[in-house]
Amino acid sequence: MAEPRWLNEKEQQAWRAFIAAQRVVNSRIEQQLQRDAGIPHTYFEILVRLSEAQEGRLRMSELAVATLGSRSRLSHAVNRLEQYGWVRREGVESDRRGQVAIITDAGREKLVEIAPGHVEEVRSAIFDALSEEQVDQLYAVCTALAEHPSQER
């Protein structure tokens, strides 16, 4: 087994700051969406992804990848969104097991209703605290982290 690559002091500080920032921002976003819409951030993200998709529809497998969720978790979330009338599912003709999630008109209306509060909370939680240069740096750092190849262990 290889020797652990311990974090140096600067890396440890950066790691802990990242974790603290992530918790604060995620907590604020979750609280805002629960307060204003009664839904978790995951449901909001599903509605956004569907609203941005061609014809408001995505295969469930594509939606799982886009939202970085497991298929079972996504299926549960889409079930709830169907109960609200914001999403519906259809089978895929060419694939008997495949399904497509489709945002409904009611889902689009809900998104239009809750998006302004969400954007304001994102602005307040993140961008109001940063300079323009820091926003550019945040973008560069987040892009690098998202594109960094994961190493399977």
Q: In tens digits, what is the pLDDT along the chain, a chain of 153 residues?
A: 788 899 999 999 999 999 999 999 999 999 999 999 999 999 999 999 999 999 999 999 899 888 877 888 899 999 999 999 999 999 877 766 788 999 999 999 999 999 999 999 999 999 999 999 999 999 999 999 988 876 544
Enter the pTM of the model.
0.86
> How high is the pLDDT of residue 65?
87
For residue 32, count other CB atoms closer than 10 A to its CB. Answer: 20
Domain boundaries, the chain: 29-125
Residue 114 and residue 37 in contact, taking contact as beta carbons nearer than 8 Å:
yes
Kindly state the tokens that stand for 87.
């999403």
In angstroms, the CA 132 to CA 128 distance is 10
Q: Which residues of 62-97 are buried (b: 16+ CB within 10 A; e: fewer)?
A: ebbebbebeeeebbebbeebeeeebbbeeeeeeeee
Helix axes 71-84, 105-125, angle to 10 degrees: 120
Residues 6+ positions from 31 with CB-CB distance below 8 Å:
none
Architecture of domain 29-125: Orthogonal Bundle (1.10)
Q: What is the pLDDT of residue 72?
A: 84
Enumerate the β-bridge partners of residue 57.
Answer: 102
Q: Would you state the pLDDT for residue 153? A: 41
Residues 98-134 as b/e (b if ≥16 CB within 10 A, e otherwise) read ebbbbbbeebeebbeebeeebeebeeebbeeeeeeee
Q: What is the pLDDT of residue 25?
A: 96
Residue 151: per-residue pLDDT? 54
Crossing angle of helices 41-52/105-125, nearest 10°?
A: 120
